Amino acid sequence: MATMHTEERIGSAWRKHRDGDYRSAMDIFDEILRKTPNNIDALYGMGLARYGNGDATGAVESFTKALELARASLRAVEVTSVVDGHRGSNDLDTYEDDRYLMLTRMISQRLAEIQENAEVLKAGGK
């Protein structure tokens, strides 16, 4: 049996997540993260799977690390873009920054959602 590439493993984990099999998704994401601990896609997926499995604290941990990496990657792309003669962040002539801009927004939204849900639960709401 051939070994799956990381992207294929991430896709497999996403399928498990979509099917509601959060434990299996977390196992696959964990396997990826043991080999590549700074894989932003796996960290984001792990955050979603942990949250789906009821582990808000673990989700925040995964999302926070993914957000730090996405922000660092965006800064690196901005510097490279300017050095290459482009305008930096959100330059329509380049695509590299789009990925990290979107990841930063998506991860920030997930963290805000978890915080909001925790505050609702703390206040006794549903």
Number of residues assigned to the chain: 126
Q: Is residue 89 part of a domain?
A: yes
Is 80:91 a contact under the CB 8 Å cutoff?
Answer: no
Give the CATH number for residue 94. 1.25.40.10
Phi-psi region of 92 (alpha: psi -120 to 50; beta: other; left: phi over 0): alpha
* Range(s) of the domain holding residue 49: 6-122
Q: Compute the chain's Rg from CA coordinates.
A: 17
The number of domains in the chain is: 1
Which residues of the chain fall below pLDDT 70?
1-3, 80-96, 125-126
Question: What's the pLDDT score for residue 123?
Answer: 82
Q: Is residue 1 part of a domain?
A: no
pTM reported for the whole predicted model: 0.82
Q: What is the pLDDT of residues 65-91, one digit of tens each?
A: 999 999 998 888 877 655 455 555 555
